[in-house]
Amino acid sequence: AGMDPATTSKSNHCLDAAKACNLNDNCKRLRSGYISTCSRELSATEPCSRRKCHKALRQFFDRVPGEFTFRLLFCSCKDPACAERRRQTIVPSCSYEDKDKPNCLDLRGACRADHLCRSRLADFHANCQATFQSLTSCPGDNFQACLGSYVGLIGFDITPNYVDASTTSITISPWCSCKGSGNMEEECEKFLRDFTENPCLRNAIQAFGNGTDVSLPPKNPNPAVTVLPKAEKSPILPDDVNDSNTAYDTSVISTCSSLQEQGLKSNNSKEQSLCYSEAQLTTDVMPDQKTFMDPNEGSSWHRESRILLLVPILIPALGL
């Protein structure tokens, strides 16, 4: 209020995000739907239907692309008015706040009792778990996975949100406290710190708002795996074969089987050498097996055998 709209638009990225949502029919419809549901007063003692509000929020974040929802939730702010708009994104008076703050472990227990909430909470802990093994404090430097897991929790009793309209620091928390935890207080505090003091989550939100997340490495941290051509039939290993050696054994068996099925002649290729190694390994490990013989040397061995058989016949004939 009292500010030039043009100036406000330039400095208020959250307002720009709301305008972008209004230009998209699906985003506008679902956003208007949850704002109306979460703002509808039922009675003097019941300001809204929290259950319907949560359902409408889940539909919005599940059905609207992240290019709109992420901008609304994680827009960067330089003034309190912008930060307050960001905090009000999920209509916290209905979806987030309550008269009293329940115990955080009670909220966690309620979430774990619901299969969908339990799954999403597990995703949040896996994708936003702070780690010192990456530059960003996020597993695999994957900001998008952390933000997506955070968004997945909105619309449940454990819904997280900004605790204030501060522009200097970002603090996220569910609406709960650890008062009355008894001997579980340490576990409760640890659970709460996963939100309030999580460098991965904080860095992911700041990077998205600043637009610096686009310069990160590819979002898939796992290297591509080259799949080797499969043989027509997978080799069946004996029950007593150690699984830890399966990768080597099957590759050898597949290669040799492929050579036999194609009827290839013996040569000095890598594949044939591999078969020699496999057969030699069998001889070394199981001495009662027949000794492996190079097919190229078979004709020479037979010639020597025939010569030795003719020696007793030739000696009398020569009068020796």
Pairing verdict, β 172-174 and 160-162: antiparallel
Please tell me the predicted confidence (pLDDT) of residue 2.
41
Maximum mean pLDDT: which of 202-211, 278-287, 296-305: 202-211
Domain boundaries, the chain: 13-210
The answer, yes or no, to whether residue 235 has pLDDT greater than 50, is: no
More confident residue, 5 or 70: 70
More confident residue, 79 or 232: 79
> pLDDT per residue over 206-228, tens digit each?
999 887 765 443 334 443 443 44
Please tell me the predicted confidence (pLDDT) of residue 256.
40
The answer, yes or no, to whether residue 189 has pLDDT greater than 50, is: yes
> pLDDT per residue over 133-158, tens digit each?
778 888 888 899 999 999 999 999 99
Please tell me the predicted confidence (pLDDT) of residue 7.
44
Distances (CA, A) of 308 to 121, 149, 158, 302, 312: 81, 81, 90, 10, 8
- Kindly indicate the confidence band of residue 167, based on its pLDDT and cuts at 50, 70 and 90: confident
* Model pTM score: 0.63
Please tell me the predicted confidence (pLDDT) of residue 157.
95
Pick the CATH number of 13-210 from 3.60.15.10, 3.30.70.20, 1.10.220.110, 2.60.120.10: 1.10.220.110
Look at residue 34 and give its three-state secondary structure. Answer: helix
> pLDDT per residue over 94-106, tens digit each?
999 998 999 999 9
**Amino acid code (one letter) for 16:** D
More confident residue, 249 or 181: 181
Average pLDDT value for the chain: 74
The answer, yes or no, to whether residue 193 has pLDDT greater than 70, is: yes
Structure tokens at 319: 């009068």
CB contact at 8 A, 33 and 25? no
Structure tokens at 304: 């020597």
Q: What distance in Å separates the CA atoms of residue 187 and residue 24, rounded to the nearest whole number?
A: 43
> pLDDT per residue over 20-48, tens digit each?
999 999 999 999 999 999 999 888 778 89
More confident residue, 316 or 291: 316
The answer, yes or no, to whether residue 92 has pLDDT greater than 90, is: yes
